[in-house]
Structure 1
Amino acid sequence: MTVSALALAGCSSGAPSSPGASSGPASSSEGSPSGSGSATSGVHVSGAPAPLAALVSTLYAGGDLTHTSSPTAAKALTTRKAATGSVDATAKVGSWMGTPVAVVTAGDDVTLAVGPTWKVVGGWWPSLGVPTPSLGGGPRWVLAIGSDARKGQPLERTRADVLQVIGVDGKGGGGVMGMARDLWVPLSTGGKGKINSAMVFGGPRAQVSTVRSVTGLPLEGYVVLGFSGFKKIVDAEGGVPIVIPKTVVASHAKNLVIKAGAQTLSGAEALAYARERKTLPDGDFGRSRHQGEVILAAAIKAKLAGPIAIPSALTSFSKVGKSNLSAEQILTFTAGLHQLSPLKVGRGVAQGAFGWAGQQSIVVLGNQARSLFAEFRDGNLS
């Protein structure tokens, strides 16, 4: 549910007040930005603070970005052509865990930037003759964790109610892989236990290390969100449109009925659908499958809103969630989701046989799960 909330928040159309945001109606990059090469008076950026507007001007003027771009972005932009004619761009500024972030659009171009000393960290620029997007390469994977924390409990020291690995291959494909929470595995904190208990003993980093070891996938990091934060984000953005394959009665939510068919789920309904397992014929496996469905549905809605909505999403998530991903990592990864082709995104659930460890009912990893891990090593499950 974590990444689905982050994706859904990306549908927000407003620009939040945040560090580095423009205080005026618009900013123009006319003039020469200090240390960034020559600017052109033909580039106009609305909604950007002056330093960001100057950076965008330098980008389109063909100026030097050696010290104002990440290594990967700089490499991609090496052969760019200077813009001809005027350029009208729009910036949206937000923040990720206190760090300013921005997305600037100009026609089909998208520029991703991180502050407070603004630098270009990625994007795509067809108007400048740049052939491929610069989004941190691929394949890449991030672990989405839904915390079981109740009111008054620490978000990062309770069991992981949701474990979903989100992957992109850097070529327009990707996948969502659920991990059944009862999988009995070696824990990064020592000994064996249910996979979702790693966060109790060692926090999200231990949870990432455990999933990384079990799957063999080099996860970059995590995003973690609790129940209340998930509901707040979903409701604030008007719900998540989804097609429910089969009616579900959420036994844990006072038998809330989620009917089959196309509908828009509220925060409470989306949470109930993502958490129900007792009434499902395949129990926890079905629940993990539902979580993947919610994530993909929210990602589709966010994709339709466009990359310009990403800063609002990151700002909204930062108020209620936690992550160890840097602003550059999350900005390029989230923007990469907008480059995915729906026909090249698959999903799966790591399953296994049921067993016992003492008096605990567990799931034992088998060939199905190992095959799924191997399939996902290219970042694509389609």
Structure 2
Amino acid sequence: MTLGRVRPRPHATRAAIGALAATGLLLTGCTSDPPAPGPSSPSASSTSTPAAPSPQPTSAVRGAPAELQQLIERVYAGSDLGRDANAATAKALAERTAAGTQAVPAGAKATIGSWFGTPVAVVTAGDDVHLAVGPKWKLVGGWWPSLGLDDAVVGGGPRWVLALGSDARRGQAIDRARADTLQVVGIDGKGGGGVMGIARDLWVPLSTGGKGKINSAMSLGGPQAQLRTVRGATGLPIEGYALIGFYGFVDLVDDQGGIPIVVPETVDASHARIVIKKGEQTLSGKEALAYARERKTLPDGDFGRSRHQGELLLAAAVKAKLAGPLAIPGALTSFSKVGKSDLSAAEMLTFAAALYRLNPTKVGRDVAAGPFGWAGSQSIVVLGNDARRLFTSFEDGNLR
């Protein structure tokens, strides 16, 4: 039996867009500040009443420590940021078309979090967004339409990150077990991207030596060995990895309030004794884990499981987009409590911001599959031409 490239189905794409709309309504109704009352519509006899003055800019940045606020003020003053900005951000701000000294726009707000002990911050000021890393605050990206800058600075593109899920049980180190989940998340730097699942039993050269199932590399040499193995198999220069275990995944999903998703078909997660019903819903941590791990009751087995994992990643990305960039530091903090990564704070912050800016209709999803075969007594998935073509098509950071 040969299973080649698994293409997204049209109804799955419509479901993702439906989830985007439904979740947007939920977030608007539950988390947005109520609109400020505006002036009543003038009657015919009062049309000459002067309009209320527009709010004036302020230098205050709510929630920002003094050093970060001063850095944001320097951006709007047109100051040379020197070492307080990375090269890409400094270059972009030097090309601003809005000249002269400005105050920080009214309503500016900061949220602070951490990425494995390194402070991270997102500051919004009107439609402008600033991305900063501490402890000595440095701008590492953002976007600034009020300054006449059209392009965002979020690390460029294409970029890829390897999302790993460990199958470690309680008491086991998550970075020395097999990889239960292998998903390559890509962005093209132009508003599009892709999520590519990799079949766990794909037979490839291992970075630790010899050949084996692709997911065995982590148990043999840790997540760095897994990353090198996936780089070698796909030919993609993946930046780094983000690793999480079963129990950390459950905690992370619950800490973030669940994952809103539209499930295309009912799934009987027999291993967990949980039924995930078809339709729009918000999955708890346990339900999301069951959905991500079930394979025995799926018609395409492990390939279907990889597809479900990609669906969860896309749903989480949609939720993050709807929550807005100020939610990014909190999400990074939550992951840092339960996961592992070799990505720096600047790399992860800009990648997360780039995911926020994705257009959901320009994000492809696919699974690197192949025909079944044997290596001695082991049942394997053969790395064939279909998977190789998929790797090649992902070289621009997008799956179409």
TM over 0.5, yes or no? yes
Residue 267 of structure 2 corresponds to which residue in structure 1?
248
1:220 matched to which residue of 2? Answer: 239
Q: Which amino acid counterpart does residue 291 of structure 1 have in structure 2? A: Q
* 8 A contact 2:77–2:103 mirrored in 1: no
Assess if the C-alpha contact under 8 Å between 2:111 and 2:121 holds in 1.
yes
**SS at the partner of 2:238?**
coil
Return the alpha-carbon distance in structure 1 between the equivalents of residues 193 and 101 of structure 2: 32
User: Which structure 1 residue ranges, 4+ long, deviate > 2 Å from structure 2?
Assistant: 81-86
Structure-to-structure mapping, 1:1-382, within 5 angstroms: 42-80=58-96, 81=98, 82=100, 84=102, 87-88=105-106, 89-254=108-273, 256-382=274-400
Q: CA deviation at 1:85?
A: 5.4
- Post-superposition Cα deviations, 1:127-173, rounded to whole Å, max 9, x if no partner, equal 01112000111000000000111111011010000000000000000
Q: Give the match's secondary structure for 1:46.
A: coil
Instruction: Please say which structure displays the higher CA radius of gyration.
Output: 2
Structure 2 match to 1:36: none
Q: Secondary structure at the match of 1:252?
A: coil
State whether residues 348 and 381 of structure 1, in contact with CA within 8 Å, keep that contact through their aligned partners in structure 2.
yes
Distance in 1 between residues matched to 2:171 and 2:117, nearest whole Å: 23
Q: 3-state DSSP class of the match of 2:394?
A: helix
Distance 2:127 2:58 in 1: 18
More moved, 229-238 vs 56-65? 229-238
Cα offsets for 1:94-153 (capped at 9, x unmatched): 100100000000111100000011110000000011120001110000000001111110
Please say which of residues 85-94 and 69-78 is displaced more in the overlay. Answer: 85-94
User: Partners in 2 of 1:234 and 1:314 — Cα distance?
Assistant: 12
Letter in 2 for 1:138: G
Give the TM-score taking structure 1 as reference length: 0.88
Structure 2 residue runs of 5 or longer lacking an equivalent are 1-22, 32-56
Aligned partner of residue 191 in structure 2, secondary structure? coil
Alignment partners' CA distance in 2, 1:317 and 1:83: 39
Q: Give the counterpart letter for 2:247 in structure 1.
A: S
Q: Secondary structure at the match of 1:213?
A: helix
CA distance in 1, matches of 2:378, 2:395: 31
How far 1:83 moved relative to its partner? 5.6
Change (3 A) 1:246 1:116: same
CA-to-partner distance for each residue in 1:209-246, whole Å, 9 max, x for gaps?
Answer: 00001000000000000011111111122211111111
Aligned residue for 1:209, secondary structure, equals: helix
Give the conservation status (yes or no) of the 8 Å contact 2:73–2:104.
Answer: no
Following the alignment from structure 2 to structure 1, what is the Cα–Cα distance between the partners of residues 104 and 202?
57
CA-CA distance at 1:359 after TM superposition: 1.2
What residue number does 1:3 align with? Answer: none
Paired amino acid for 1:100: P
What is the CA–CA distance in structure 2 between the aligned matches of 1:237 and 1:121, rounded to whole Å?
25
Q: Which runs of 5+ in 1 are unaligned?
A: 1-7, 14-40
Give the percent of matched residue pairs that are identical in Structure 1 and Structure 2. Answer: 68
| CA distance, structure 1, for counterparts of residue 81 and residue 75 of structure 2 | 7
- Is residue 43–residue 60 contact of structure 1 (8 Å, CA) maintained in 2? no
Mapped contact 2:179–2:218 kept (Cα < 8 A): yes
The letter for the 1-side match of 2:206 is: L
SS at match of 2:82: coil
3-state SS, counterpart of residue 236 of structure 2: coil
In the TM superposition, what whole-angstrom CA distance separates every residue of 1:319-344 from its partner, at most 9, and x where no partner exists? 00000000000000000011111111
> Following TM superposition, by how much is the alpha carbon of 1:43 offset from its aligned partner in structure 2, in angstroms?
1.9
Which shows bigger deviation, 244-253 or 325-334? 244-253
Q: 1:42 to 1:61 in 2, by over 3 A?
A: farther
Query: Aligned partners of 1:215, 1:360: CA distance in 2, in Å?
Result: 22
Contact 1:83 1:128 in 2 (8 A): no
Mean alpha-carbon deviation: is it higher for 67-76 or for 217-226?
67-76
d(CA) in 2 for partners of 1:227 and 1:331? Answer: 24
Q: Is the contact made by 1:83 and 1:127 (CA closer than 8 Å) also made in structure 2?
A: no
How far off is 1:366 after superposition?
Answer: 1.1
Q: d(CA) in 1 for partners of 2:255 and 2:340?
A: 19
TM-score (norm 2): 0.84
Query: Does the Cα contact within 8 Å between 2:73 and 2:103 map onto a contact in 1?
Result: no
What is the aligned partner in structure 1 of residue 47 from structure 2? none
8 Å CA contact retained: 1:166, 1:175: yes
CA distance in 2, matches of 1:159, 1:75: 43
**Residue matched to 1:29:** none
**Partners of 1:100 and 1:177 in 2: how far apart?**
30
* Cα RMSD (Å): 1.7
